[in-house]
Amino acid sequence: VIGHPKYQGSQRIAVFLSMPDEIQTEEIIKDIFKQGKECFIPRYKPQSNQMDMLKLSSVEDISSLTLTSWNILQPHDDDSTREEALAGGGLDLIFMPGLGFDKKGNRLGRGKGYYDTYLERCMKHPSGKPYTIALAFREQICESVPVAENDVQVDEILYED
């Protein structure tokens, strides 16, 4: 991931804070700060499909986040001090989680459409849609995954072969 040309060429990067059953992203986050890039993480809004990407100030900043009912660390609902990526310069790259992927770039998420809805918002931003890379285990690559009309394909899926 860290040697990937799209990562190397990106300054504003969104990355998920991994759950135990996902590709672990802690080392990616550390490298983002080490290279002086800007790091954004998701904040999901409950009872909706709305998600924002909020800026982290440092690796240590993760310890200030709150745990949601889904066991995901994210900025508190009333935290209005953080920059939202689309309120500023947009994003260059988004690392995306998922439950399953196919080689056409279709992604099976957790069913709420958070990333699809967010990418639709990105497409309306002056900087346009960021490049998207899904991080997966080889076992998550399927022949095909079910897709809906509003599902946005990922640009690339990285997994160990």
Model confidence pLDDT, tens digit, residues 141-157: 999 999 988 889 999 99
- What angle is formed at CA 101 by the lines to CA 67 and CA 22, rounded to 5 degrees? 30
Kindly state the tokens that stand for 50.
């709305």
Q: Where are the domains of the chain?
A: 5-158
Q: Is 131 annotated as a binding residue?
A: no
Tokens, residue 90 = 């947009």
Q: Is residue 112 marked as binding?
A: yes
Return the bridge partners of 12, or none.
38
* Residue 80 clears pLDDT 90, i.e. is over it: no
CATH of domain 5-158: 3.40.50.10420
Model-wide pTM > 0.75: yes
Higher per-residue pLDDT: 49 or 25:
25
Query: Do the beta carbons of residue 152 and residue 108 sit within 8 Å?
Result: no
Q: Is 17 annotated as a binding residue?
A: yes
Is 12 annotated to bind a ligand? Reply is no
Tell whether residue 110 is among the known ligand binding residues.
yes
Q: Using CB atoms within 10 Å of the CB of residue 52, give its burial: 0 to 12 exposed, 13 to 18 middle, 19+ buried.
A: buried
The pLDDT value recorded for residue 110 is 83
Residue 88 labelled as part of a binding site: no
Q: Are strands 156-158 and 141-142 parallel, antiparallel or unpaired?
A: unpaired
